[in-house]
Structure formats: C-alpha cells, structure tokens
C-alpha cells in the first residue's frame, strides 16, 4: 500500500522554465511534508518542507504547495537550472509518532535541458 | 552530509551468505534509520533506532536485523542474503528540525 505516490517517473523541462513535480498521499494522519533531492551516487538531501497548517512555503526558487482536501502537494522550481537535474522524492510523516518515520514516494527524475 | 559514512560502498555477494553494512556517524544523532532504494519503490524503511540498543522494525524488515551498541554505529545485517535484497541501502540520522534526515552516500549491494 503506497501511502505516498509520485505518479510521474520522469519530467523534462527547458532551462529557465518552471518545473512542477507532483505528489499525492492517502494517510490523513500525515501532518508534515518534505521534498528531498538526490544526485547519482549520493544520498538524498533535504530541500524544503511544509506543515499541514500552511498551504504554501517558499525558499528562493523553490515553492511547495499543499492542498489538504485533495491530499496533494507540488514542488515548483522557477526558473529551472541545469543543476536542478536530479531525482526528487516527496516524503510525509506523522509528527505525533515519536520516531518520525518518513514515508517516501517513488521519486521523479527531473531533467533540465539547456 | 560528511557526518554519516557507510561501508562498504559497494559489495557483491552470493545468495545465502551473511552481509553486514555499517553506518558510522559523528553528529550524535539519537535517531538512526536504514532505508533501501529500489526502482519504482522509492525509499523504504527497513529498521530504525531511537537510542543505544533500542531498535524497531520498519515497513520492509523481513530478512534484516540491526544492532546499535553505541551511538556512533548502526549496523544492518542480512543473515542469509537473497537476490531480492539486491538494492542500494541508505543510512540516515535525524537532525534537530522536524523530519530532516541526513543521509549517508549509500551502499550498493548485489546478491548473485
């Protein structure tokens, strides 16, 4: 049972344009959401997060939007740069669980074309 | 994050042999996690630790065991490796901010 889903395995975007990565979740107990970025042969690194009490969080070129009623979140990157080419993982957690076990989606491979 | 190192980085082994992957951290993380990454599945939690000698199962724990005898080291053991355990394994430590995990560089395991 995949509680966090990223339905697009890959996405290709022109440099300078907006990249939009999507994520859906099924567990209504999730109250915190994160995006991680992963380059080949490296571990994932934290990118941006959002609490369920917000619907938007912005950090430079990266913005995450949360639609709780639809159980959907998205990551917007604008403008997209070649260094943004990586695999992006959406993750969710229930902060009431002390262990803070992150549940990850399958990942979306983003390719930024010059 | 240089504070978490994994060894070995690459290993090829045969079905039925025992394998131990080591995670060493210098950040004094209390919570540590082992994930595996597979195409189409993303990252799945195998086991985690919430302190020395305190461990618990994740969603894909069958065939794996862990041990944490000191804060710095978190070991993942495959008692008898199977081909389905061919994967990339990531160790992570929990930082002070909510949900933020710091990952090692991964250990690629191939079971023939």
Residues A6 and A72: their CA atoms lie apart, in Å, by 10
Which pLDDT score is estimated for B1? Answer: 46
Per-residue pLDDT, averaged over B29-33, amounts to: 94
Residues A110 and A11: their CA atoms lie apart, in Å, by 5
Q: Tell me which chain B residues have a C-beta less than 8 angstroms from the C-beta of A6.
A: 42
Interchain contact, A101 vs B45, CB within 8 Å: yes
CATH of the domain at B97: 2.60.40.10
A1 CB neighbour count, 10 Å cutoff: 5
**Tens digit of each residue's pLDDT (9 = 90 or more) over A56-111:** 999 999 999 999 999 999 999 999 999 999 999 999 999 888 778 899 999 999 99
Residue keyed to tokens 């966090």: A4
**Domain that includes residue A11, residue range:** 4-113
Which phi and psi angles does B84 have, rounded to 5°? -70, -10
Least CB–CB distance from A100: residue in B90, B94, B105: B94
Q: What is the DSSP string of B36-62?
A: EEETTTEEEEEEEEEETTEEEE-TT-T
Calculate the CA dihedral of residues B24, B29, B31, B37 and round it to 10 degrees.
Answer: -50
> Considering its fold, how many domains does chain B have in total?
1
> Considering its fold, how many domains does chain A have in total?
1
**Domain that includes residue B34, residue range:** 4-111
Interchain contact, B103 vs A45, CB within 8 Å: yes
**Tens digit of each residue's pLDDT (9 = 90 or more) over B45-98:** 999 999 999 999 999 999 999 999 999 999 999 999 999 999 999 999 998 777
CATH of the domain at A29: 2.60.40.10
Interchain contact, A34 vs B100, CB within 8 Å: yes
Least CB–CB distance from A34: residue in B50, B99, B103: B99
SS (H, E, C) B58-70: CCCCCCEEEEEEE
CB under 8 Å to A87, separation ≥6 — which residues?
Answer: A37, A38, A39, A107, A108, A109, A110
């Amino acid at each position: 049972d995949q509680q966090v889903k990223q339905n697009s395995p890959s996405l290709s975007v022109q440099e300078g344009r907006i990249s939009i990565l999507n994520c859906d979740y099924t567990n209504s107990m999730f109250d915190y959401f994160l995006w991680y970025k992963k380059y080949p042969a490296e571990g994932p690194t934290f990118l941006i997060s959002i609490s369920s009490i917000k619907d938007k969080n912005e950090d430079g070129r990266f913005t995450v939007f949360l639609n709780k009623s639809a159980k959907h979140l998205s990551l917007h990157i604008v403008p997209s740069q070649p260094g943004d080419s990586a695999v992006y993982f959406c993750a969710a957690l229930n902060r009431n669980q002390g262990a803070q076990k992150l549940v990850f989606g399958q990942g979306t491979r983003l390719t930024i074309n010059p | 994050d240089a504070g978490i190192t994994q060894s070995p980085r690459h290993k090829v082994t045969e079905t039925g042999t025992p394998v131990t992957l080591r995670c060493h951290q210098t950040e004094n993380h209390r919570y540590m996690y082992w994930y595996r990454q597979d195409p189409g599945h993303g990252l799945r939690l195998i086991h985690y630790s919430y302190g020395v000698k305190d461990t618990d199962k994740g969603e894909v724990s069958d065939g794996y065991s862990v041990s944490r005898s000191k804060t710095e080291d978190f070991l993942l053991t495959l008692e008898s490796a199977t081909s389905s355990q061919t994967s990339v394994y990531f160790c992570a430590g929990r930082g002070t901010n909510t949900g933020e995990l710091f990952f090692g560089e991964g250990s690629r395991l191939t079971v023939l």
